[in-house]
Structure 1
Amino acid sequence: MAGQRDIFVTRSSMPPFEEYVDEIRSLWETHWLTNMGAKHEALRAALKAYFCLQGGTLTCLRTVIWRSSSLCRR
């Protein structure tokens, strides 16, 4: 099949490396990767605005599960 391009279904779409590093630089500076950090609050505010919500709580269940499982290993 000449002229066809491969389509990688599981290949991620990635921003330029420098753009990604600029976006996450504050995470390294603050060492804050979990709930209630600056990125968490920005996402919460954006979701509230997008869905026209008056209030709400944003949690990351994956982090909670990871923390719980890591406590069990000790």
Structure 2
Amino acid sequence: MAGARARLPELQRTMLVLRYYEGRTDPEIAEILGISVGTVKSSIWRSLRRLREDEAIGCGRGVEESFGELVA
């Protein structure tokens, strides 16, 4: 694995896929993963921040391309 995908923990990748590819809500994600809604919200926020930081430091890819790696 390379790029932003490699730096995101598996749980965070899973949450992003559930949110943005499956259209799940925070409460649904929390129930599926057996964690609190607050954990879902903060983890997704941190994941997106990390993807944006990767883009800002010249990772060579945009957020959309980096995020696309999550389900590749």
Which TM-score applies when normalising by structure 2?
0.31
**Larger Rg belongs to:** 1
The structure in which a higher percent of residues are helix is: 2
Larger relative contact order (CA 8 Å, sep ≥ 6): 2
